[in-house]
Amino acid sequence: MTKSALQIARATYQPKLPKALKGAVKVKEGNATQSVADQEAIHQLFPNTYGMPLIQFVEAEASATQPAFNVGVILSGGQAPGGHNVISGIFDGIKKLNADNRLYGFILGPGGLVDHKYMELTGDIIDEYRNTGGFDIIGSGRTKLETVEQFEKGYEILKELGIKALVIIGGDDSNTNACVLAEYYAAKNYGVQVIGCPKTIDGDLKNEMIETSFGFDTACKVYSEVIGNIQRDCNSARKYWHFIKLMGRSASHIALECALQVQPNVCIISEEVETNNLSLDDIIAYVAGIVAARAAQGDNYGTVLIPEGLIEFIPAVKRLIAELNDFLATNAVEFSHIKKSHQREYIISKLSKENADIYASLPEDVARQLTLDRDPHGNVQVSLIETEKLLADIVSVKL
């Protein structure tokens, strides 16, 4: 492939490294760690891995010679800028310790571990992907690791390849996979370290040790630039309202950060909606009121930012989704035989009155989207729900 001048320049960029990753380091163990809440319950669930000490890398006088070892890496969940550089960093780090160390990537997420689909990531491959976005170097997936059979199938290939450490790069669901796998391998004394690397564009995996997960900063910068362009178009045309859906299933961090950067006319924050127990009609009335107030001043244009997970934070809709989840899980076979044209009426007839009324009030497209297949972790696929279209349509009717 012929590379452009931009691609060549991008490949030469050297990310800034913390002092701990420059030169010789040694491991210093700190205090035992604990969960933020439910310590006893989580301790019982993870008796072999709970309370492990905090590890800190500190300067050492000289690098000790390390015996050769192999590492596996998995990309899991949605893609995020920085994923390729995490893999590049792992490669550089293990090669620095011992040139004979090898890095293996499992293809298409955790499923690659279970199905023994992998590739060795060599220097030539790594150099092709340095400083590039996306997750395409080995692909990603959302397979949920939860059975002994999966754990054992994974161990078979780890043992065959001589892998002593497995790095799972992903968000909250992916790190749950990492925790469960680490606990099982620790209980079996398999000698495989499982390491979770926090990746979530939503920015909702953080603590005092992790300022922000990788992907969040880039997403906000790119979004803000695009929203700013739309707002400039608004100011020029002076006749459109733009309803813009942003990523953020379980957190509104991206919507809030973009709002701070671009100052839209309206930004809905899912957590506020839930805390204040707002209904869908409350949100519609709020947005319509702002549109009407601007119209009264002769300003018939503006922008509305909406986090993709908004609909799950509306308490009444959240209760509806919970009942739908239970119903569809226990009646999947029967539901699959219902004609698409009759599915809406069928579901309404099976729900409680409160939830049936809410479901019936939703536009048909949105109601249908709530019944789509869940992801492997049981979540409604909110990215497929056209929340921005829902709000725009109902606000139009309200006005």
- What pLDDT score was predicted for residue 330? 83
15 pLDDT band (50/70/90 cuts)? confident
- What pLDDT score was predicted for residue 250? 85
User: What residues have CB less than 8 Å from 154, skipping those under 6 apart?
Assistant: 113, 114, 145, 181
Burial class (CB in 10 A: 0-12, 13-18, 19+), 122: exposed
Q: Would strands 241-246 and 302-307 be described as parallel, antiparallel, or unpaired? A: parallel
As a whole number, mean pLDDT of residues 9-31 equals: 85
pLDDT surpasses 80 at 3: yes
- What pLDDT score was predicted for residue 73? 98
- What pLDDT score was predicted for residue 287? 98
Q: Is 281 a catalytic residue?
A: no
As a whole number, mean pLDDT of residues 140-147 equals: 93
pLDDT surpasses 80 at 376: no
Q: Which is higher by pLDDT, 242 or 385?
A: 242
Q: Would strands 118-120 and 102-106 be described as parallel, antiparallel, or unpaired? A: antiparallel
- What pLDDT score was predicted for residue 322? 86
| Lowest mean pLDDT segment, chosen from 204-213, 219-228, 368-377 | 368-377
Q: How far is the C-alpha of 323 from the C-alpha of 338, rounded, in Å?
A: 19
pLDDT surpasses 90 at 58: no
Identified catalytic residue from 38, 124, 173, 202: 202
- What pLDDT score was predicted for residue 11? 87
pLDDT surpasses 70 at 375: no
Q: How far is the C-alpha of 301 from the C-alpha of 279, rounded, in Å?
A: 25
Give pLDDT tens digits for 164-199. Answer: 999 999 988 899 999 999 999 999 999 999 999 999
Phi/psi region, residue 169 (left: phi>0; alpha: psi -120 to 50; beta: rest), is beta
Q: How far is the C-alpha of 214 from the C-alpha of 218, rounded, in Å?
A: 8
pLDDT surpasses 80 at 13: yes
As a whole number, mean pLDDT of residues 23-40 equals: 90
Q: Which is higher by pLDDT, 59 or 152?
A: 152
Query: Against a cut of 0.85, is the pTM above it?
Result: no
- For the chain, give the mean pLDDT: 90
Is residue 213 within 8 A of residue 206, CB to CB? The reply is yes
- What pLDDT score was predicted for residue 128? 92
Q: Show the domains of the chain with their CATH numbers.
A: 16-64 (no CATH), 65-201 (3.40.50.450), 217-398 (3.40.50.460)
Please report, to the nearest 10 degrees, the dihedral formed by the alpha carbons of residues 145, 148, 150, 151 taken in order: 80
Q: How far is the C-alpha of 330 from the C-alpha of 272, rounded, in Å?
A: 33
Per the listing, tokens 């813009």 go with 244
Give pLDDT tens digits for 115-137. Answer: 999 999 999 999 999 998 889 99
pLDDT surpasses 60 at 377: no
Q: How far is the C-alpha of 72 from the C-alpha of 189, rounded, in Å?
A: 18
Neighbours of 264 (CB within 10 A): 20
112 pLDDT band (50/70/90 cuts)? very high
To 5 degrees, how large is the angle CA 303–CA 394–CA 232?
15
Spatial CA neighbour of 362 closest among 388, 394, 325, 330: 394
Q: Which is higher by pLDDT, 109 or 63?
A: 109
As a whole number, mean pLDDT of residues 266-283 equals: 95
Q: Which is higher by pLDDT, 246 or 339?
A: 246
What is the three-state SS of the chain? CCCCHHHHHHHCCCCCCCHHHCCCEEEEEEEECCCCCCHHHHHHHCCCCCCCEEEEEEECCCCCCCCCCEEEEEEECCCCCCHHHHHHHHHHHHHHHCCCCEEEEECCCHHHHHHCCEEECCHHHHHHHCCCCCCCCCCCECCCCCCHHHHHHHHHHHHHHCEEEEEEEECHHHHHHHHHHHHHHHHCCCCCEEEEEEECCCCCCCCCCCCCCECHHHHHHHHHHHHHHHHHHHHHHCCCEEEEEECCCCCCHHHHHHHHHHCCCEECCHHHHHHCCCCHHHHHHHHHHHHHHHHHCCCCCEEEEEECCHHHHCHHHHHHHHHHHHHHHHCHHHHHCCCHHHHHHHHHHHCCHHHHHHHHHCCHHHHHHCCCCCCCCCCCCHHHCCHHHHHHHHHHHHC
pLDDT surpasses 90 at 154: yes
